[in-house]
Amino acid sequence: MPNDDPFTSPRTRWWRDAKYGMFIHWGLYAVLAGEWNGKKVPGIGEWIMDNAKIPVSEYEKLAAQFNPVRFDARAWARVAKNAGMKYLVITSKHHDGFSMFDTRVNAYNIVKATPYRRDPMRDLARACRDEGIRFGFYYSIMDWHHPQANERDAARYIPQMKEQLRELVTRYDPAILWFDGEWVNWWDQAKGRDLETFLRGLKPNLVINNRIGKRRTDDGDYETPEQEIPKAALGKRLWETCMTLNDTWGYKKDDENWKSPKDVVHKLCDIASKGGNFLLNVGPTAEGVIPAPSVRILEEAGRWLQANGDAIYGTTFAPLPQPAWGRITRKGNRLYLLVFDWPAGGQPLRLALAQPVKSAGLLKRRGDVTFRPAEGGVELLLPAAPSNRYASVVTVDLAGDLAAVKSPAELTAEGRPIPAAADGSITLSANAAKLHGDAIQLEYKGDAGNIGFWLKADDYAEWFVALAAPADYAVELTYACEAGNGGDFVVQVGGEKLAGRSKPTGGWTTFKTARLGTVKAAAGKQSVTVKPSGAPRGGLMNLLSVRLVPAP
């Protein structure tokens, strides 16, 4: 785990501001391009060795066919730059164990085993540096080729893996290390901690993802939701959604299911509005060419970013409810309204806001924006036509200090109550809880993170509420529970207790809402706790939220 807080550390500042990077999956699997023995192989392209059950001895022969004579490092760096991407992460070694760099650890690499005989990573690192793009490596802990990458021989494999990582850090000077394949049963959090210490000893300002460990919230610098976007900001934890542009990471010649430029822009806006980064993938061909559709889509989305990047780069989430018309990012006391659905017929755009507005305008086109107070916020009167077909940006400068609006997690940490919604209900979310105990922790399987690893009877979750008057509240829990796990627990609201039992919901990520019963809550500030009534069977539950709903 890092020895600083990645959420605020100067070490991660560039990464937090960058918001958008290019992921590249490139390796021997591109030679097969999704086919084996004349048949299409289902699944993601870089998993073809496993999906088609190709023996190592057969798969190794692909190296002799891998000769990316059309590889052009500068062209690749320019695709990233024109896309508006600020960093690039490329596979140095994927699960197939083939090293795409000049390693001395073994001969199963692009320089020694292919007719290409060059090191493309050296060229790409230099080209990225010249284009002002931060360069990073993906590295898979799991290795289907190495004879010692297994539970019995891991003690002999891991030193060789560390030596390769030392080569990568000392010879290519990456800004990021993106680990993967950490799910193997012979890798654990302690090994991840040891590796992280080793790497930070080589380069203290490395930015490292959570898959160096076991994807726990104290592994590495940030969370890595994959092919999904959390529904809300993940509390005080950095995160980056990685996604394919079509349906595969490694090249498959028949995968034409491309995302549209509009979809890419909207995903980027959605992610940035929740304080996350977007790592978007391209899968180059065996000749070393990024597929033309990828380039076209990224260039088109890049043109939106060139015009509206102020609303993305260097922003973070705004502690405001997510609007139906688009998304909102924040930089200091300026809000950027990313309007997907421009109001028609001169209708005002409503913004729920407690702070007073100083001024408002259009980011990239002259045109008046006026505003007036409205119930719960302001109404903005906009020009008849939007300024961009994907997302039009309206700026709102606040007179008050939005930064003063505490997040739910900050309120709980200070022992302050979570405010009620307009309907009187109070949502106590997982990422706003104060967690007591050494096993219980926040993890990101749910939309905005859930409380998990609830393994001990003494571990419990706590929030604070302040009720204006005594009232009856229905208590609802939204949780997930794997078969064979669960147990009894008690929800306590002030002095009132409700017993409950967590039951299997279909899996650790299948969240369901259960109404526990009703409590007579007293007025004033009081804590709300969820405590096991005894030792849980395995895990008690993955708790997403507790809701207090005024009983009719």
Name, in order, each residue with C-beta under 8 angstroms of 155's C-beta and a sequence gap of 6 or more: none
Residue closer to ligand FHN, measured from CB, 226 or 438: 226
- Cβ-based neighbours of 399, under 8 Å, separated by 6 or more: 355, 356, 357, 358
Cβ distance to ligand FHN smaller for residue 239 or 249:
249
Closer Cβ to ligand FHN, 43 or 293, answer by number: 43
Should residue 96 be labelled a site residue for ligand FHN when binding is judged by CB under 6 A?
A: no
CB of 121 to ligand FHN, least distance (A): 17
249 binds ligand FHN (CB under 6 A): yes
**Minimum CB–partner distance for residue 273 and ligand FHN (Å):** 22
Stretch that binds ligand FHN, among 44-52, 266-274, 308-316, 325-333 (CB under 6 A): 44-52
SS3 content of the chain, % helix, strand, coil (to 5): 25, 30, 45
What minimum distance in Å lies between the beta carbon of 226 and ligand FHN?
A: 5
Residues from 434 through 473 that contact ligand FHN (CB under 6 A): none
Strand partners, 23: 89, 281
DSSP one-letter code for 68:
-
Of 7-15, 42-50, 213-221, 430-438, the window that binds ligand FHN (rule: CB under 6 A) is 42-50
End-to-end CA separation in angstroms for the chain: 48
With contacts defined by CB under 6 A, how many residues of the chain interact with ligand FHN? 7
Q: Which of 420, 24, 67 is nearest to 249 (CA)?
A: 24
Q: Which of 44, 339, 396, 477 binds ligand FHN (CB under 6 A)?
A: 44
Q: In what order do the strands lie in the sheet with 377-381?
A: 349-352, 377-381, 370-374
Residue 280 or 351: the one with the smaller Cβ distance to ligand FHN is: 280
Our finding on whether 242 is near ligand FHN (CB under 6 A) is yes
Do 7 and 73 form a contact (C-beta atoms < 8 A)? no
1-40 footprint of ligand FHN as x/- string (CB under 6 A): ----------------------------------------
Residue 280: strand pairing partners:
22, 243
Site track 45-84 with ligand FHN (rule: CB under 6 A), x = hit: -xx-------------------------------------
Nearer to ligand FHN, 211 or 330 (CB): 211
Stretch that binds ligand FHN, among 30-38, 43-51, 338-346, 426-434 (CB under 6 A): 43-51
Per-residue contact string for residues 157-196; x = within reach of ligand FHN by CB under 6 A: -----------------------x----------------
Length of the chain: 552
Give the nearest distance from C-beta 243 to ligand FHN in angstroms.
Answer: 9
- Please, what is the Cα angle at 450 between 434 and 184, to 5 degrees? 120
CB of 457 to ligand FHN, least distance (A): 33
Q: Which residue has the tokens 């997930």?
A: 480
- Distance (Å, whole) CA 78 – CA 457: 55
Residue type for position 207: V
Classify residue 522 by its DSSP letter. P
Q: Which is nearer to ligand FHN, 44 or 448 (CB)?
A: 44
Pair of tokens at residue 39: 């048949």
Quote the CA–CA distance of 516 and 491 in Å, as a whole number: 9
CA distance readout (Å), 322 to 312, 327, 368, 379: 16, 6, 24, 16
Residue 47 or 511 with smaller CB distance to ligand FHN: 47
- Beta-strand pair 496-502/507-521: unpaired
Q: How far is the CB of 46 from ligand FHN (least distance, A)?
A: 5
Binding mask 197-236 for ligand FHN (x = CB under 6 A): -----------------------------x----------
In angstroms, give the least distance from the CB of 360 to ligand FHN: 40
Reported as half-sphere exposure (CB side, CA atoms, 13 A), residue 40 has a value of 7
Q: Is 256 in the site for ligand FHN (CB under 6 A)?
A: no
Q: Least distance to ligand FHN from the beta carbon of 180, Å?
A: 5
Helix (H) or strand (E) holding 377: strand 377-381
Q: Which two tokens stand for residue 496?
A: 């009132």
CA 192: distance to chain centroid? 19
Residue 18 or residue 44: which is nearer to ligand FHN going by CB?
Answer: 44
The partner residues of 176 in beta bridges, in order of sequence, read: 136, 207
Alpha-carbon distance 225 to 92, whole Å?
21
| Contacting positions for ligand FHN (CB under 6 A) | 44, 46-47, 180, 226, 242, 249
